[in-house]
Amino acid sequence: MSDFGILAFGAYVPITRLQRSAIHATNGWFAGGLGGLAKGEKAVANWDEDSVTMAVEAARDALDGVDRASVERVVIASTTLPFADRQNAGIVKEALNLPDAVGAMDVTGSQRAATSALLVALEGRTTTLVCAAEIATPRPASEREMTAGDAAAALLIGGGTPIAKLVASQSVTVDFVDHFREAGAAHDYDWEARWVRDEGFARIMTPAIAALLAKAGIEGDAIDHFIVPVAVKGVPEMLAKKAGVSDAAVADGLTATLGHAGAAHALVMLAAALEGAKPGARILLASFGQGCDLLLFEVTDAIGSVKSRLGVSGWLARRIESANYAKYLFHRGLLHLDRGMRAEHDSKTALTALWRNRKAVLGLVGGRCTKTGTVQFPKSEVSVNANDYAVGTQEDYPLAEVSAKVLTWTADALTYSSDPPSYYGNIDFDGGGRMMTEFTDFTGGALDVGADLRMMFRIKAYDENRRFRRYFWKAAPAF
């Protein structure tokens, strides 16, 4: 049997970086004690992003250069999944244009959701894409609002030539309630941080880490990367000291540049560690939440063969600085603005049409004429080739990973948009194919004819009457 472990990794961080100083400038009169946290920036998702769309982007990063036909199961872990009774992992599967004979599973309800899903995948024998994504909605003027950030990560687990293998694992489950959010609620309720640190992190994780090291037959000083994805300052260093792990091994928590991405943060930090890991390096990942999951990995010689991808560092480099706190509140549903009459329209989705056209809508699969080579979107029975309207010659032609350029564009300030003006226009795909689409993540004068584009999976519209979100692909700046 071939070796089993991590085959590939990827990540995603939204482009907007909200300055914490802007948050404190508004709320400082009321929550002056949070001034110490008003440094750096946090990644915040756009209005058309959610945990599913971010998981798709992280998965695309992980699968760059990988044969997608090898994926046998898709898992998404998150405590902020958009659907309670529609399989979110199924949407990810469709967006990635994976075969229908693929298993799927949602994992939620715990800050350990991502590491628990990862453990199950590592203990199985199925090639599994494990995604984790989180978009938090903290209460305004709270400590969590200052520390939280939005991000996603993905790991491909399977046999073959892994870049990292699981050496040992240890799990502890106790109903230690450091914070909670009832089903359907918007905000977490947090308990006192010092008590959580001393009674939770110290007393629960310290003996568990010692047990893991004993199981692996190594000392703490043998750990090269010590990953503790918690937002409480000083906890990773405290646990490292108790375990005999060197200060140099403590991984950057990405606090200043990203924030804490909840249940997804464990995999985000693991992906960041894998970016710079050397063969033979030992990575200890310690995830906390009603107990803890501990995973000890050893990086293999195959790490050098991994195809270059954006990863955490690449996405962090793609940034737009923002001091618009009111815009963030509006996009989170925490600030209610008069949207005007143009927003008063029914966005009901015909589920029958979505089913019939799911490959085009969710997977951005167009058509290519096998006779003339003409590419088109959407796919149809009749080719659009002006010199040969061939019938029945179309084959599936995925366009999501194809580069494109702006052909025409319009900035519409009259139609309703959650982020006005609404940008849309025609784009040309490299190698053929043209479509009209919306543009996203562009700033000011960056959008122009001929600009290079990357397609991104986003929310197209939201049906407020039935609470159903419709997804499609939008064009974003290439990089």
Q: Tell me the DSSP string of 318-386.
A: S-EEE--HHHHHHHTT-S-----GGG-------HHHHHHTHHHHTT-EEEEETTT--EESS--SB---T
User: What is the distance between the alpha carbons of residues 215 and 209, in angstroms, rounded to a whole number?
Assistant: 10
**pLDDT tens digits for 78-127?**
999 999 999 999 999 999 999 999 999 999 999 999 999 999 999 988 99
User: What is the distance between the alpha carbons of residues 115 and 281, in angstroms, rounded to a whole number?
Assistant: 20
The residues spanned by each domain of the chain are: 3-179+189-331, 343-364+399-477
Which tops the pLDDT comparison, 467 or 373?
373
Report the pLDDT value the prediction gives residue 308, as an integer from 0 to 100: 65
With vertex at residue 44, the alpha carbon angle to CA 251 and CA 250, rounded to the nearest 5 degrees, is: 5
**pLDDT tens digits for 368-382?**
999 999 999 999 999
- Segment 122-139 shows an average pLDDT of 95
What sections of 97-142 are H helices per DSSP?
113-123
pLDDT above 90 coverage of the chain, percent: 84
Do 343-364+399-477 and 3-179+189-331 have the same topology in CATH? Answer: no
The answer to whether 80 and 135 are in contact (CB under 8 A) is: yes
- Segment 65-89 shows an average pLDDT of 96
* 270: amino acid identity, one letter: L
Nearest to 265 by CA among 245, 281, 289: 289
* 365: amino acid identity, one letter: V
pTM score = 0.95
Report the pLDDT value the prediction gives residue 345, as an integer from 0 to 100: 82
CA 246 to each of CA 111, 221, 223, 243, 274: distance values in angstroms, whole numbers, following the listed order: 26, 6, 8, 9, 19
Place of tokens 């100083």: 21
**pLDDT tens digits for 251-299?**
999 999 999 999 999 999 999 999 999 999 999 999 999 999 999 999 9
The answer to whether 334 and 325 are in contact (CB under 8 A) is: no
Report the pLDDT value the prediction gives residue 70, as an integer from 0 to 100: 95
**324 pLDDT exceeds 60?**
yes
- Residue 213 tokens read as 């090291």
Q: What is the phi/psi pair of residue 152, to 5°? A: -150, 160
**pLDDT tens digits for 143-200?**
999 999 999 999 999 999 999 999 999 999 999 898 888 888 888 888 888 888 888 8
Instruction: Specify whether domain 3-179+189-331 bears CATH 3.40.47.10.
Output: yes
**331 pLDDT exceeds 90?**
yes
Report the pLDDT value the prediction gives residue 1, as an integer from 0 to 100: 36
Place of tokens 């990405």: 254
**pLDDT tens digits for 379-438?**
999 999 999 999 999 999 999 999 999 999 999 988 899 999 999 999 999 999 999 999
Report the pLDDT value the prediction gives residue 2, as an integer from 0 to 100: 53
Handedness of CA 417, 423, 379, 48 (dihedral sign): negative
- Segment 435-450 shows an average pLDDT of 91
CA 422 to each of CA 264, 293, 391, 447, 476: distance values in angstroms, whole numbers, following the listed order: 31, 44, 36, 12, 13
Please, what is the average pLDDT of the chain? 94
The answer to whether 407 and 427 are in contact (CB under 8 A) is: yes
**Given this structure, which CATH class describes domain 343-364+399-477?**
mainly beta
For every residue of 257-308, DSSP letters joined together read: TT-B-GGGHHHHHHHHHHHH--TT-EEEEEEESSEEEEEEEEE-GGGGGSPP
